[in-house]
Amino acid sequence: MDPVDYNDKGHSAAITKALDLLRWPHHCRFTGRAKKDLIKLKLASGDVLDSMQDHLKARLPLYTEMQTMSELEPIVGYIFCPLLISKRDLRIYCKYTLPNVSREKDEYLLVHANHKPDFTCPGEKK
């Protein structure tokens, strides 16, 4: 995982797009795995999306990782480790991508994971 510089033009544009999409939950989707994570943690999708928005607005630590497994072409995955769900006093690992689409009206944010971290997040004590 590589840390994100919020001032980097490429990341700044992607984060601005994510914040725009997070304002409209119908533009945010969860993979099957991410839906199972929600059920396991008894979270509503809005809890995760609201926390993602708060995290990005506060410019808290964010990381990237190239996604190559399920994509035809590599795509940047953005990772919150940890993402704080304040309503539940819960820390989770959350990953999202902004899939490439041909038209702006088709844009969406795809949440791939939102589960308890399997490892210590960067910068946290063990």
Scanning the structure block, which residue is given the tokens 């959350």? 94
CATH label of the domain that carries residue 90: 3.30.2310
Q: Identify the domain containing residue 43 by its residue range.
A: 2-115
In terms of Cβ atoms closer than 10 Å to its own Cβ (0-12, 13-18, 19+), residue 91 is: middle
Domain-embedded: residue 126: no
Domain-embedded: residue 125: no
> Average pLDDT by consecutive 10-residue portion of the chain (126 residues)?
91 95 95 95 95 96 84 84 90 94 91 90 73
Cα–Cα distance between 93 and 102 in angstroms, integer?
Answer: 29
Domain-embedded: residue 124: no
Domain-embedded: residue 121: no
Domain-embedded: residue 16: yes
Scanning the structure block, which residue is given the tokens 């769900």? 85
Structure tokens of 105? Answer: 């009206």
Domain-embedded: residue 40: yes
76-91 pLDDT tens trace:
999 999 999 988 889 9
Give the total number of structural domains in the chain: 1
Query: Is 78 in contact with 106 (CB distance < 8 Å)?
Result: no
